[in-house]
Amino acid sequence: MLAGLAEAGVPIDRADLVVGTSAGSVVGAQVCSGVPLDELYQRQLAPVTGEIAAKLGLRVLARYAASAVGGDDRKARARLGRQALRARTVPEADRRAVIAGRLPSHDWPAHPRLLVTAVEATTGAAVTWDRDSGVPLVDAVAASCAVPLVWPPMTIDGKRYVDGGVRSAANVDYASGCSRVLVLAPTTASIRVSGRIGRQLATLGPRVRSAVFSPDAEARAAMGRNVLDPAFRAASARTGRRQAASVAQAAAALF
């Protein structure tokens, strides 16, 4: 999608802030690395190597839903985080190596500011890291991508963290202070109202201009039923780039 928007003339490189959640933290680190977008796009079309197979099945999704019901937001996140701590997964080091292999640079970008989101597993506290946090970029991204019950919670300074998507699919409200917000969200689903993109955009104020783009029907089909299966990566990339043409005008209006 980003490569297609850039090809259509949308100056997405003018962004001052990039908020990355879950897989979006990988994308954020990639697009802020200085590597040209078209080169990053071509990498998505290459044969998949260095990945670990995983599945986000109905049983896992049901446990997500059950954890989200009742209590305040933080307690709900903590319920899921504690389950993640007990789950059997691959070792942290193996998962971290996968994330490191996805990032063309392991250094935080000087510009734009990259904000990576996560959730502390035991307490449910929402956290963010940037270049001034003192946390290595690979560790921050690995934590943001630590899908509960699928991947291991990641350890940073003695604490364990799970996926930033546990709080919200896009964490749009972290764009506080921005006057124009472009949201690319592979999923907009949220059981809890506080995590919904529309609700979070509303907290930014009435004068904020925004646009939200999600996969169309063709793109959803290309992504497959298991969003954690890298075998669908190339097809997803192609349909995302195609869809960009249909939303380019709306995206350009923000700039």
Q: Just list the catalytic residues.
A: 22, 163
Alpha-carbon distance of 240 to 38, in angstroms, equals 13
Q: Determine contact, residues 72/167, Cβ cutoff 8 Å.
A: no
SS3 at position 85: helix
Q: Which residues is 17 bridged to in the sheet?
A: 113
Q: Identity (one letter) of the amino acid at 12?
A: I
Q: Determine contact, residues 233/186, Cβ cutoff 8 Å.
A: no
Alpha-carbon distance of 148 to 143, in angstroms, equals 10
Question: Which are the contacts of 89, defined by CB distance < 8 A and separation ≥ 6?
Answer: 95, 149, 150, 151, 152
Q: Which residues is 115 bridged to in the sheet?
A: 19
SS3 at position 110: coil
- The DSSP-derived string for 135-199 is --HHHHHHHHT--TTTSPPEEETTEEEEEGGGT-SS-GGGGTT-SEEEEE-S----SSGGG-HHH
Question: Which are the contacts of 146, defined by CB distance < 8 A and separation ≥ 6?
Answer: 84, 95, 118, 152, 153, 154, 161, 162, 163
